Amino acid sequence: MAGVSRSAATSSSQESHTQDARIGRAIEELDTPTLLLDRAASDRNLAKMAGFFRDRSAKLRPHFKNHKCVTLAKRQMLAGAVGMTCAKLGEAEVLVENGISDVLIANQVVGSAKVERLVQLAKRARISVAVDHMDQVEAISRAAATARSVVRLLIEVDIGMGRCGLPSSEAVLDLARKLQGMPGVEFGGLQAYEGHLVNVVDREQRRILSRAAMGLAVETRQLIERAGIPVSCISGCSSATYDSTGILDGVDEIQAGTYATMDRQYVRLTPEFEIALSILVRVISRPSLGKAVLDVGVKGAGAEFGVPAIREYPDVVIPFFLAEEHVVVNQTPEWLIGQPLHLIPSHACTTCNLYREIVAHEDGVVVDIWPIEASGRLA
């Protein structure tokens, strides 16, 4: 597959097999909290998403920010991805250091220190980055020309997210014109993300709204092309919109991320994918009848999309995270102190960033330990 060899994809796996005594143990024997991934379920998710795009014009460029794990990224590449997307320059450095040769930083890179890292990284791999202002373009151009590297630029279009990106097609065309012929950079196309719509629960409504939003990026592409400037790519979309905006004419790359692990929120949006990620936790207190306290809190489980769930007891009510290190569960069965449970976080992306490794398992047995190499890479 593009960008990574099969031998590279298995090297970290082989190393963990020779060094980690947890391999072969039942997962319930592990210390807690431990971040777990059902490897078979994740592999089915990877195959399902890759298969969806295999015969389509748009290609899959998964978002590394979901899991930040090189082993899982390489499995995505082997399944058919054309490259990886990431949110931070530090994540891109981790990917390139580990053999991924085509990386999009779907964010603006600003500041002399970061720009110097960016242009040096572009000497080692095909690096693309989002821009939305001429000041960003000029800084990258100067540094890249000095370093004798080339950085591919995707102009970001704000299609309703209200975050980064230019708000009008005319402004995007103006920036595209200005960067033509500048040294050290090349115009690679557009980036657009309909993130303000991915959590619309009704699937048909989400499809209609997201296609209308991404249509603004397609219209921008057409305006630029009518001006005589080729647009080789529109990159965007998500795991929740892969089958709506991902099949829109004019969209070329899909930055889906969460499908690799899934979480409590995304399984509501795309139930065709399986929840592979969980946190092994234990009951540490039973302060009163029907109430239990678990040994993880907001420092161990992302909660931006609401409360977590208990895999074994889907009907148990979890009203809130009580504190940094505790979850309080009400209306519990008669759980015993020390009992292991599987917590399903509401947000996989922020959860994975809190850990340094993923314990991969199948049929309840540990099969591998995967480092989360980009955990905490915020710069």
For residue 256, the model assigns a pLDDT of 98
Q: pLDDT digits over 244-292, tens only?
A: 999 999 999 999 999 999 999 999 999 999 999 999 999 999 999 989 9
- Which residue ranges form the domains of the chain, and what is each CATH number? 39-262 (3.20.20.10)
With cut-offs at 50, 70 and 90, classify the pLDDT of residue 8.
Answer: very low
Is the per-residue pLDDT at 10 higher than 70?
Answer: no
With cut-offs at 50, 70 and 90, classify the pLDDT of residue 2.
Answer: very low
For residue 18, the model assigns a pLDDT of 57
Q: Which residue has the higher pLDDT, 1 or 22?
A: 22
Is the per-residue pLDDT at 1 higher than 50?
Answer: no
With cut-offs at 50, 70 and 90, classify the pLDDT of residue 320.
Answer: low
Average of per-residue pLDDT across 208-216: 98
Q: Which residue has the higher pLDDT, 208 or 17?
A: 208
For residue 11, the model assigns a pLDDT of 47
Q: Which residues lie below 8 Å from residue 262, measured CB to CB, with a gap of 6+?
A: 45, 273, 274, 275, 276, 277, 348
For residue 332, the model assigns a pLDDT of 86
Average of per-residue pLDDT across 342-360: 97
Q: Which two tokens stand for residue 328?
A: 């309080």
With cut-offs at 50, 70 and 90, classify the pLDDT of residue 5.
Answer: very low
For residue 321, the model assigns a pLDDT of 67
Length of the chain: 379
Is the per-residue pLDDT at 4 higher than 60?
Answer: no
Do the bridges between strand 59-60 and strand 34-38 make them parallel or antiparallel, or are there none, so unpaired? unpaired
Cα–Cα distance, 74 to 5 (Å, whole number): 9
Answer left, alpha or beta for residue 257, where phi above 0 means left and psi between -120 and 50 means alpha: alpha
With cut-offs at 50, 70 and 90, classify the pLDDT of residue 16.
Answer: very low
Q: Which residue has the higher pLDDT, 260 or 316?
A: 260
For residue 3, the model assigns a pLDDT of 47
**What's the whole-model pTM score?**
0.93
Q: pLDDT digits over 71-107, tens only?
A: 999 999 999 999 999 999 999 999 999 999 999 999 9
Q: pLDDT digits over 27-52, tens only?
A: 999 999 999 999 999 999 999 999 99
For residue 12, the model assigns a pLDDT of 46
Q: Which two tokens stand for residue 237?
A: 């979309």
